[in-house]
Amino acid sequence: MPTISMFYGIIVRILFTDTKQHHLPHLHVEYQGKQAVILIPDGDLLEGNLPIKKLRLVQAWIAIHEDELMANWTLAANGEPVFPIDPLR
Protein backbone atom coordinates (compact mmCIF):
# COMPACT_ATOMS: atom_id res chain seq x y z
CA MET A 1 0.00 0.00 0.00
CA PRO A 2 1.93 3.05 -1.22
CA THR A 3 2.07 6.18 0.91
CA ILE A 4 0.98 9.16 -1.18
CA SER A 5 1.38 11.88 1.47
CA MET A 6 2.32 12.56 5.09
CA PHE A 7 1.56 15.65 7.15
CA TYR A 8 1.14 16.49 10.84
CA GLY A 9 1.76 12.87 11.79
CA ILE A 10 -0.93 11.65 9.39
CA ILE A 11 -0.04 8.97 6.82
CA VAL A 12 -2.21 8.75 3.69
CA ARG A 13 -2.13 5.62 1.58
CA ILE A 14 -3.96 4.22 -1.40
CA LEU A 15 -4.34 0.52 -2.18
CA PHE A 16 -3.87 -0.96 -5.61
CA THR A 17 -7.01 -2.56 -7.06
CA ASP A 18 -8.94 -1.88 -3.82
CA THR A 19 -12.28 -1.53 -5.59
CA LYS A 20 -13.97 -4.66 -4.26
CA GLN A 21 -13.98 -4.04 -0.50
CA HIS A 22 -15.37 -0.50 -0.43
CA HIS A 23 -16.53 -0.02 -4.07
CA LEU A 24 -15.96 3.74 -3.94
CA PRO A 25 -12.84 5.91 -4.36
CA HIS A 26 -11.20 6.14 -0.94
CA LEU A 27 -8.00 6.58 1.04
CA HIS A 28 -6.54 4.69 3.97
CA VAL A 29 -5.39 7.09 6.68
CA GLU A 30 -3.37 6.37 9.81
CA TYR A 31 -2.57 8.58 12.77
CA GLN A 32 -0.93 7.34 16.01
CA GLY A 33 -2.22 3.79 15.57
CA LYS A 34 -5.74 4.84 14.61
CA GLN A 35 -6.89 3.91 11.13
CA ALA A 36 -9.67 5.18 8.92
CA VAL A 37 -11.00 4.84 5.42
CA ILE A 38 -12.08 8.17 3.94
CA LEU A 39 -14.01 8.71 0.72
CA ILE A 40 -12.72 10.78 -2.15
CA PRO A 41 -13.78 13.43 -3.10
CA ASP A 42 -16.24 14.26 -0.30
CA GLY A 43 -14.02 13.35 2.68
CA ASP A 44 -16.70 11.31 4.48
CA LEU A 45 -15.48 8.78 7.02
CA LEU A 46 -16.34 5.32 5.69
CA GLU A 47 -14.70 3.16 8.33
CA GLY A 48 -12.52 3.47 11.44
CA ASN A 49 -11.83 6.61 13.40
CA LEU A 50 -9.44 9.52 13.74
CA PRO A 51 -9.32 12.39 16.21
CA ILE A 52 -11.74 15.02 14.87
CA LYS A 53 -9.02 17.65 14.36
CA LYS A 54 -6.95 15.23 12.28
CA LEU A 55 -10.02 14.16 10.29
CA ARG A 56 -10.72 17.82 9.48
CA LEU A 57 -7.11 18.26 8.29
CA VAL A 58 -7.45 15.25 6.00
CA GLN A 59 -10.79 16.55 4.67
CA ALA A 60 -9.22 19.95 3.91
CA TRP A 61 -6.31 18.22 2.16
CA ILE A 62 -8.74 16.14 0.09
CA ALA A 63 -10.64 19.28 -0.96
CA ILE A 64 -7.39 20.94 -2.09
CA HIS A 65 -6.10 17.90 -4.00
CA GLU A 66 -9.34 16.38 -5.30
CA ASP A 67 -8.25 16.14 -8.94
CA GLU A 68 -4.89 14.58 -8.08
CA LEU A 69 -6.52 12.10 -5.71
CA MET A 70 -9.07 10.99 -8.30
CA ALA A 71 -6.26 10.55 -10.85
CA ASN A 72 -4.34 8.44 -8.33
CA TRP A 73 -7.48 6.40 -7.60
CA THR A 74 -7.88 5.63 -11.31
CA LEU A 75 -4.24 4.59 -11.55
CA ALA A 76 -4.45 2.40 -8.44
CA ALA A 77 -7.72 0.79 -9.54
CA ASN A 78 -5.95 -0.24 -12.75
CA GLY A 79 -2.94 -1.59 -10.85
CA GLU A 80 -0.67 1.21 -12.07
CA PRO A 81 1.84 3.16 -9.92
CA VAL A 82 0.49 6.19 -8.09
CA PHE A 83 2.26 9.50 -7.57
CA PRO A 84 2.96 11.43 -4.35
CA ILE A 85 0.78 14.41 -3.50
CA ASP A 86 2.01 17.50 -1.67
CA PRO A 87 1.29 17.50 2.06
CA LEU A 88 -0.93 20.00 3.83
CA ARG A 89 1.21 22.93 4.97
pLDDT tens, residue by residue, 63-89: 999 999 999 999 988 889 999 999 998
86: in domain = no
In a domain, 89, yes or no: no
Could you read off the pLDDT of 48-57 as tens digits, one per residue? 999 999 999 9
> What confidence category does residue 21 fall into, taking pLDDT thresholds of 50, 70 and 90?
low
- Say how far apart CA 85 and CA 76 lie, in whole Å: 14
Task: Write down the pLDDT at residue 7.
Answer: 98
Residue 66 included in any domain:
yes
pTM score: 0.91
Instruction: Provide the residue range defining the domain that includes 53.
Output: 3-77
Yes or no: say if 2 and 12 are a contact pair by the CB < 8 Å rule. Answer: no
Q: For residue 14, is it within any domain?
A: yes
